[in-house]
Amino acid sequence: MRISTLGDAAPHGVQLGVVYASVEGVNEHSFEECLEILTEKAEALGATSLIGLQLVQSQFQWNQRTSLLATAVRE
């Protein structure tokens, strides 16, 4: 799975939609865990790359979460 910025998007790619993943925790493993879930969701749509990846880490005292959002693209 290729991950790139919007400016590096393939000119002939087909946008399949937005994918979202969220996991509990904000630590050294939460980003990788969240990225794995996001990649699985994108691949299920037939995507070969993700563009415009956005990371949100919420550190509220009672609900720490790591979330990722990206556009799934088939090139």
Domains (range + CATH), the chain: 2-74 (3.30.110.70)
Read off φ and ψ for residue 30, nearest 5 degrees.
-65, -35
Q: How confident is the model at residue 18 (pLDDT cuts 50, 70, 90)?
A: very high
Q: Which two tokens stand for residue 54?
A: 């956005």
Closest CA to 34 of 13, 58, 60: 58
| pLDDT surpasses 70 at 65 | yes
Kindly report, residue by residue over 42-60, the tens digit of the pLDDT: 999 999 999 989 999 998 8
Evaluate the CA torsion angle 25, 22, 70, 3 in order and state its sign: positive
**Stated pTM of the model:** 0.84
